[in-house]
């Protein structure tokens, strides 16, 4: 596979959230504002890049039987690192992401990429894959956050655009709005790709090897 393709497929064609339906928890939880979505996306991209590179470097060292605990520890290490960096340089974002910053550890996108890609490919390719998937994740979170912030609070990046004329619909930044917007976005993707997104979900190699296979929504779609 060409390097360009490895990078680009994560952005749109195999977008981890909108097409593959992975990492739904942070997608729903932190996207009350567009900026939080971007922050979460970039934090996850950093962890994904670090863990993919390290796992790719160690792919001959890690014994196959205990690879999952090894991957989880590597990922958790990078999560701790991100936590430190945000606490020092971006305390406001750290506060907004809260518990979900630590929960990047169990984001199935990261473990999935480690298992499906980094453990089988070279360091350079794994890094590209991490960047593509990470930016795809960031893009999806930004879309979610922008829609919810616009309708729910009447602002974009914190700037009020309703001029006091329209009353924002608070429900969109409440949990129920998260489910609703996510459902509509996936429906939109299905419509725009004329059902190809759902097909790709079933063909992609993304799920079968994932340790969370069967427990997550994406996989059941595959089984169908």
Partner 1 sequence: MREMMIILVSAVLVDNFVLTKFMGICPFLGVSKKVDSAAGMGVAVTFVMVMATLCTYPVYTLLLVPFGLQYLNTVSFILIIALFVQLVEIILRRFVPPLYQALGIYLPLITTNCAVLGVTLLNITEEYTFAQSVVNALGAGIGFTIALLLFAGVRRRLEAANPPKPFSGMPITLISAAIVSLSFLGFSGVVENLFG
Residue 166, sorted as left (phi over 0), alpha (psi -120 to 50) or beta, turns out to be beta
Our CB check for partner 1 shows the closer of 91 and 183 to be 183
- Determine if 42 is a binding residue for partner 1 (CB under 8 A): no
How many other C-beta atoms can be found within 10 angstroms of the C-beta atom of residue 168?
16
- Determine if 68 is a binding residue for partner 1 (CB under 8 A): yes
- Determine if 63 is a binding residue for partner 1 (CB under 8 A): no
Our CB check for partner 1 shows the closer of 205 and 220 to be 220
Query: Contact at 8 Å (CB) between 221 and 202?
Result: yes
- Binding string, 173-202, against partner 1, x = CB under 8 A? -xxxxxxx-xxx-xxx-xx---x--x----
Of 25, 92, 161, 166, the residue at the interface with partner 1 (CB under 8 A) is: 25
Residues that bind partner 1 (CB under 8 A): 21, 24-25, 28-29, 68-69, 72-73, 76-77, 79-80, 83-84, 98-99, 102-103, 105-108, 111, 171, 174-180, 182-184, 186-188, 190-191, 195, 198, 211-221
């Amino acid at each position: 596979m060409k390097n360009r393709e490895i990078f680009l497929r994560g952005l749109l064609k195999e977008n981890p959230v909108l097409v593959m339906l992975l990492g739904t928890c942070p997608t729903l939880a932190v996207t009350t504002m567009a900026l939080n979505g971007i922050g979460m996306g970039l934090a996850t991209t950093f962890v994904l890049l670090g863990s993919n590179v390290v796992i790719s470097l160690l792919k001959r060292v890690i014994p196959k039987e205990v690879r999952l605990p090894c991957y989880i520890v590597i990922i958790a290490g990078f999560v701790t690192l991100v936590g430190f960096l945000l606490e020092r340089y971006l305390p406001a974002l750290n506060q907004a992401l809260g518990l979900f910053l630590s929960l990047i550890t169990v984001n199935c996108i990261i473990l999935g990429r480690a298992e499906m890609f980094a453990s089988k490919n070279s360091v350079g390719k794994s890094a590209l894959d991490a960047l593509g998937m990470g930016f795809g994740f960031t893009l999806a979170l930004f879309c979610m956050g922008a829609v919810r912030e616009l309708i729910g609070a009447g602002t974009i990046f914190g700037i009020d655009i309703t001029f006091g004329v329209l009353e924002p619909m608070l429900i969109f930044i409440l949990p129920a709005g998260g489910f609703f917007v996510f459902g509509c976005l996936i429906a939109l993707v299905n419509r725009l790709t004329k059902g190809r997104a759902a097909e790709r979900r079933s063909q992609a190699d993304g799920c079968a090897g994932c340790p969370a296979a069967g427990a997550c929504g994406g996989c059941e779609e595959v089984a169908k």
